[in-house]
Amino acid sequence: MSPNLTTTLDHLLDTPTCQHCGQPRGSSVSDDFCSETCQHTWHTQQATPPLPDQGGGPDESLPEATPAQPLTWLHPPSATATARTGHEILDELTAFITRFSVFPSEHCAPTLALWYAHTHAAEQFYVTPRLVLDSAEPGSGKTRVLEVAQYLVRAPEMTISATPAALFRLVSLGPITILFDEVDAIFNPKNGGNHEDLRGLLNAGYKRSATIARCVGDAKNIKVERFPVYAPAALAGIAGAMPSTITTRAITIHMRRRRPDEPVEPFRERHVARDARPLRDHLTTWIDSVRPQLSGVLPTMPEGVTDRPAEIWEPLLALAETAGGHWPTTAHRACRHFVLDAGPVMTSDGIRLLADLRDVFTQAGTGRLRTTDILTTLTSLDEAPWGDLEGKPLDARHLARLLDRYGVKPKNLKLPNGAVVKGYRIDGDDGLADAWSRYLPSAATTATTATTATAQVRGVADTIPVAEASATTRGDQVAAPVAVADLQPVAATPLTCTVAAVAAVADEPRHPTPVGGIQ
């Protein structure tokens, strides 16, 4: 290369040029342009055209495309984006519960699902029903139900022998769900001990406003402290040892041992905890979404469910109506099963006596019965305790004492021959009808029979109708008028297998038999 060409190239490379026109910048103060005109022209050419909406909307000329990275940093996903409906969640809970337990009725698992759900919203209700799991023998699946429940309820506290003081503190520190196993060992009177504090805690904790006052502190600084005790509680134990003050506030499921042909999945804690976690999360999300409206739900009760049973079932029925789907119907059927179809709850000898007396009067088809006839019939009942009360059968004095607390008193009843004997009647201020209506579930067939029988004898205030002796008549015969001589020396014959047929005859329309010339 010639020296002149080399000199020219070196000069060009060393001389700064304009970014727009390529001419030497000369004395320009800019490092890139020779003049302001070139600088303005270059920037104008490089700038993008303005958007028609000044950048307020998307560019419709661009194709739709998923962001290369999820924009989760903008905000958390909406709760409703992945939320499940209430009836779907309750269905899944029911299916999960039945994987590990066999129940005596189709209504048990749905009831448990509703009860587990209500623990997450207990503060929205005035009461929290106790759940009682009992059985005739150990090994009937009570503990297994509690073990599964601890992964579905809110803040579970699984215990066997916690002291009342410990439970006071646990409940007062925050919302918990008490899962109490083997309570029969605590409340069984054969085991002795004083457990009134624990019974009081479980009774009072049934209602939201309840507190229990206790003295705390040392001898020099004692003060009264009121402990809030409102908390859901599930209790499991052998049947018969639970105090009636607890069972009357509870939904009771009578567990039974599984047959060999009733298989269930084995309980493996880690697997159960893993499978239950998403169920509980969905349940919590749903309860949180409907929590504001739960306290205002007034569910309709099945006909015949009133007072304490209605109070017990209100939270569960409210959740069922909120969940929708088939659950309102399912919950109503369960309520009827546990409250009405199960019959009267025999919480005491008095309730059992009233129920048996209603059956006796219904089968006899009359509104008046002599005390001797009542005692003979009661003591002959195979499944009743009246034939052996502390070593001797029920007598007239004991019968009067048991019924007196219900306002039922023996009255003088006049026989057709004019003789007067002691007995009981359905109607009147001291009659059985009032006690039956207050302490026993309504029975349509019994009420119809009793009303008919009462109407027949109401015209003869204190006279036994002749139909009284029909309890000993063959089913294919209608009782004939009984002579006075037959009433005096012969004791009433116990009810036999022909009673059903006799009762059917008594239910048929018939005309009252004139007694003593009085219609």
Alpha-carbon gap, residue 64 to 257, rounded angstroms: 62
Choice among 140-154, 167-181, 183-197 with the minimum mean pLDDT: 183-197
- Which residues are CB-neighbours of 324 under 8 A, at least 6 positions away? 85, 86, 87
The identity of residue 254, as a single letter, is H
Alpha-carbon gap, residue 287 to 281, rounded angstroms: 10
What pLDDT shows up at residue 56?
58
Mean pLDDT of 398-418: 91
Taking the CA atoms of residue 28, residue 29, residue 35 and residue 38 in that order, the dihedral angle to the nearest 10 degrees is: 120
Choice among 75-89, 130-144, 286-300, 372-386 with the minimum mean pLDDT: 75-89
What pLDDT shows up at residue 491?
37
CA-angle at 144, arms to 88 and 83, nearest 5°: 20
Phi and psi at 310, nearest 5°, equal -65, -40
Instruction: Tally the residues of the chain.
Output: 519
- Enumerate the β-bridge partners of residue 224: 215
Alpha-carbon gap, residue 202 to 60, rounded angstroms: 67
Tell which wins on pLDDT, 96 or 13.
96
Q: Is the pLDDT of residue 446 over 60?
A: no
Q: Is the pLDDT of residue 65 over 80?
A: no
Alpha-carbon gap, residue 182 to 29, rounded angstroms: 95
Tell which wins on pLDDT, 389 or 92.
92
Strands (DSSP E) along 398-486, which ranges?
Answer: 411-414, 420-425
Contact (Cβ atoms closer than 8 angstroms) between residue 118 and residue 128: yes
Tell which wins on pLDDT, 460 or 182.
182
Q: What's the pLDDT band for 96 if we cut at 50, 70, 90?
A: very high
Burial class (CB in 10 A: 0-12, 13-18, 19+), 14: exposed
Alpha-carbon gap, residue 131 to 133, rounded angstroms: 7
Alpha-carbon gap, residue 261 to 236, rounded angstroms: 25
pTM above 0.85, yes or no: no
Closest CA to 252 of 147, 130, 98: 130
The share of the chain scoring above pLDDT 70, in percent, equals 73
What pLDDT shows up at residue 177?
94
Q: Over the chain, what is the mean pLDDT?
A: 78
Mean pLDDT of 485-512: 35
**DSSP secondary structure string for all residues of 226-280:** EEE----EEEEEETT-S-HHHHTTEEEEEE-PPPTT-------HHHHHHHHHHHH
* CATH no. of 86-341: 3.40.50.300
Q: Is the pLDDT of residue 5 over 80?
A: no
What pLDDT shows up at residue 223?
87
Residue with tokens 């998307």: 58
What pLDDT shows up at residue 100?
97
Q: Is the pLDDT of residue 109 over 60?
A: yes
Mean pLDDT of 162-184: 85
Q: Is the pLDDT of residue 344 over 60?
A: no
Q: Which residues of 115-130 are buried (b: 16+ CB within 10 A; e: fewer)?
A: bbbbbbbbebbebbbb
What pLDDT shows up at residue 440?
84
Q: What's the pLDDT band for 497 if we cut at 50, 70, 90?
A: very low
Alpha-carbon gap, residue 409 to 425, rounded angstroms: 9
The identity of residue 408, as a single letter, is V
Pairing mode, strands 233-238 and 411-414 = unpaired
Q: Between the CA of residue 163 and those of 167, 196, 202, what are the distances in Å? A: 6, 11, 12
Burial class (CB in 10 A: 0-12, 13-18, 19+), 50: exposed
Mean pLDDT of 221-228: 84
What pLDDT shows up at residue 53?
57
- Which residues are CB-neighbours of 281 under 8 A, at least 6 positions away? none
Instruction: Give domain limits for the chain.
Output: 3-35, 86-341, 349-507
Q: Is the pLDDT of residue 485 over 70?
A: no
The DSSP element (H or E) to which 444 belongs, if any, is helix 444-457
